[in-house]
Structure 1
Amino acid sequence: MMVNNAAFILSLQNETKNPMSTELRLHGQINKQIEYFATAAGCRTAHHHFFQAVDQNLRFFAPGSEIILSPTGIQQTGTGGTFCEYMFGVDQPVSDLSKEGIFNRLILLGAGYNQTGQLEINEQNHSEQSYKDVFLKGHAINNYFFFISGLKQPTHRQIQEKILRCLGRILKRTANLNRRDDSNLAELLLAQLPENCTIYLVRLSQTNHHHFQKEFQTLYYRNRSISKNTHAALQGLADNLGLDPYQQERICVDVMYQHRDNYQIIDDYKKVLVECYQQGDINRQQHARLTRLKALAMRNEIPSSLLEALDKKLKAQVKSTAQEPEYTAIARDILHDLLLRQGISHKDTIQLLFAKQQARRNHDHSFEKLLLETGQLFDEQIRDGAQLSLLEDFSTIITLFDRYDSTSTNISQIAFMESYCPTEELLQNLLTSRQEFNNLVRGLFDKLFFVDIIHNHYLGRFGRQKLVCLRKGLEEVAAGIVTVKRLAAELKVIDAREKLYGIVLNHAKDHIRTRYSRYNTHSEQDELYAELNDELLIRGIINKPLDPQLFQTVIHDIKKEALYLRQLLPEIIANNNIALRHDFFANSGLDHFYIEELEREYFTLNQLSLEHLRKLRAGAI
Structure 2
Amino acid sequence: MHQEIRLHGHLDNTIEYYATAASYNLRQSYFYEQNGASLRFFSPGNELLLSPEGLEHRGNGGTFCEYMFGVDQPLSDMAKAEVRNRLVLFGATYRNRHELVFTDHTDGQLSYDRIFLDGHAVCNYFFFLSGSVSGRLSQQQQEIVRLLGKQLKRSPHVGHGDDSELIGELIGLIGHRSTLYLVKLIHKRHKAYQEAFAELYFASKAIEDADFNQLKRLAAGLGIDRYQQERIRIDVMYRHPDNRRIVDEYKNILIDCNRRGHIGAADNARLTRLKTLSVRKKIPSALFYTLDEMLRDDRLLHPDEKEDYLSETRQILEGILLQDAQIDAGITNEDMVKLLEAKKTACENRDHGFEQLLLETGKICDERIRDGADLSLLESFSHIITYFDRYDSVSTHINRLAFMEGMRLSEETIRSLLGNRNAFEQLEKGLFDRLFFAGILGNAYLGRYGRKKVELLRLGLAAIADGSLTIRQLLEQEEEIAVEEQLYQRLLDQVKDRIRNLYSRYNTRAEQEALRRELSEEFGNKGIWQGEIPKKLFRDVLLNIKKEAIYLHSLLPQIISGRNLALREDFLENSGLDRFHVEELEREYCEQNRIDPEVLNNLRRGLNSEVRP
TM-score, normalised with respect to structure 2? 0.91
- TM-superposition CA deviations, 1:441-494 (whole Å, max 9, x none): 222212211122112111111111211222223223334455445534443443
Q: Which residue of 2 aligns with 1:298?
A: 279
TM-score, normalised with respect to structure 1? 0.90
2:134 matched to 1:134? no
Query: Match for 1:301: what amino acid?
Result: K
Q: Which residue of 2 aligns with 1:392?
A: 379
Q: Which residue of 2 aligns with 1:71?
A: 52
2:182 matched to 1:182? no
Instruction: Give the 3-state SS of the residue equivalent to 1:573 in structure 2.
Output: helix
Residue 436 (structure 1) shift: 0.8
Which is further off, 256-265 or 421-430? 421-430
Instruction: Give the 3-state SS of the residue equivalent to 2:303 in structure 1.
Output: coil
- The equivalences for 1:465-614 within 5 A come to 465-515=452-502, 518-542=505-529, 545-614=532-601
Are 2:15 and 2:185, in contact at CA under 8 Å, matched by a contact in 1?
yes
- The equivalences for 1:82-101 within 5 A come to 82-101=63-82
Q: 2:141 aligns with which of 155, 160, 182?
A: 160
Change (3 A) 1:469 1:144: same
Q: Which residue of 1 aligns with 2:235?
A: 254
Which is further off, 516-525 or 212-221? 516-525
Residue 590 (structure 1) shift: 0.9
Instruction: Give the 3-state SS of the residue equivalent to 2:449 in structure 1.
Output: helix
Change (3 A) 1:485 1:209: farther
Are 2:20 and 2:183, in contact at CA under 8 Å, matched by a contact in 1?
yes
Which is further off, 488-497 or 549-558? 488-497
What RMSD over aligned residues (CA atoms) do the two structures have, in Å? 2.6
Q: 1:426 aligns with which of 407, 413, 417?
A: 413
Query: Match for 1:193: what amino acid?
Result: I
2:392 matched to 1:410? no
Q: Which residue of 2 aligns with 1:439?
A: 426
2:37 matched to 1:61? no
Which is further off, 408-417 or 357-366? 357-366
Residue 513 (structure 1) shift: 3.0
Distance 1:133 1:363 in 2: 32
Residue 228 (structure 1) shift: 1.8
Change (3 A) 1:303 1:381: same
Are 1:23 and 1:44, in contact at CA under 8 Å, matched by a contact in 2?
no
Distance 1:491 1:171 in 2: 54
2:254 matched to 1:273? yes
Which is further off, 572-581 or 47-56? 47-56
Instruction: Give the 3-state SS of the residue equivalent to 1:200 in structure 2.
Output: strand
- TM-superposition CA deviations, 1:565-609 (whole Å, max 9, x none): 011111222222222211111111111111111111112211223
Change (3 A) 1:235 1:497: farther
Instruction: Give the 3-state SS of the residue equivalent to 2:443 in structure 1.
Output: coil
Are 2:24 and 2:177, in contact at CA under 8 Å, matched by a contact in 1?
yes
Instruction: Give the 3-state SS of the residue equivalent to 1:45 in structure 2.
Output: coil
Q: 2:352 aligns with which of 346, 358, 365?
A: 365
Which is further off, 478-487 or 383-392? 383-392
Residue 504 (structure 1) shift: 2.5
Are 1:342 and 1:390, in contact at CA under 8 Å, matched by a contact in 2?
no
Query: Match for 1:398: what amino acid?
Result: I
Q: Which residue of 2 aligns with 1:30?
A: 11
Which is further off, 243-252 or 89-98? 89-98
Which is further off, 441-450 or 382-391? 382-391
Q: Which residue of 2 aligns with 1:81?
A: 62
- TM-superposition CA deviations, 1:507-557 (whole Å, max 9, x none): 322333344554222233234335544554455544555444433322221
- The equivalences for 1:6-45 within 5 A come to 13=1, 21-45=2-26
Query: Match for 1:244: what amino acid?
Result: D
Residue 151 (structure 1) shift: 2.3
Distance 2:484 2:293 in 1: 38
Query: Match for 2:277: what amino acid?
Result: L
Are 1:276 and 1:318, in contact at CA under 8 Å, matched by a contact in 2?
no
Q: Which residue of 2 aligns with 1:122?
A: 103
Query: Match for 1:594: what amino acid?
Result: H
Q: 1:345 aligns with which of 320, 332, 335?
A: 332
Residue 103 (structure 1) shift: 1.8
Are 1:22 and 1:42, in contact at CA under 8 Å, matched by a contact in 2?
yes
Are 1:277 and 1:317, in contact at CA under 8 Å, matched by a contact in 2?
no
Distance 2:571 2:218 in 1: 51
Q: Which residue of 2 aligns with 1:233?
A: 214
Distance 1:317 1:64 in 2: 49
Distance 1:73 1:277 in 2: 38
Structure 2 unaligned residues grouped into runs of 5+: 609-613
Q: Which residue of 1 aligns with 2:309?
A: 327
Distance 1:344 1:70 in 2: 59
Are 1:277 and 1:318, in contact at CA under 8 Å, matched by a contact in 2?
no
Are 1:213 and 1:252, in contact at CA under 8 Å, matched by a contact in 2?
yes
Are 1:46 and 1:198, in contact at CA under 8 Å, matched by a contact in 2?
no
Instruction: Give the 3-state SS of the residue equivalent to 1:92 in structure 2.
Output: coil
Instruction: Give the 3-state SS of the residue equivalent to 2:64 in structure 1.
Output: strand
Residue 394 (structure 1) shift: 3.3
Instruction: Give the 3-state SS of the residue equivalent to 2:297 in structure 1.
Output: helix
Query: Match for 1:106: what amino acid?
Result: L
Query: Match for 2:257: what amino acid?
Result: C
Are 1:80 and 1:148, in contact at CA under 8 Å, matched by a contact in 2?
yes
Distance 1:51 1:202 in 2: 11
Distance 1:74 1:540 in 2: 62
Are 1:111 and 1:121, in contact at CA under 8 Å, matched by a contact in 2?
yes
Instruction: Give the 3-state SS of the residue equivalent to 1:473 in structure 2.
Output: helix
Change (3 A) 1:165 1:531: farther
Aligned length: 602
2:434 matched to 1:452? no
Instruction: Give the 3-state SS of the residue equivalent to 1:39 in structure 2.
Output: strand
- TM-superposition CA deviations, 1:8-35 (whole Å, max 9, x none): xxxxx3xxxxxxx212222222333332
- TM-superposition CA deviations, 1:286-318 (whole Å, max 9, x none): 111111111111221111110010101110264
Q: Which residue of 1 aligns with 2:202?
A: 221
Distance 1:152 1:361 in 2: 54
Instruction: Give the 3-state SS of the residue equivalent to 1:579 in structure 2.
Output: helix
Change (3 A) 1:370 1:138: same
Residue 186 (structure 1) shift: 0.5
Q: Which residue of 2 aligns with 1:104?
A: 85
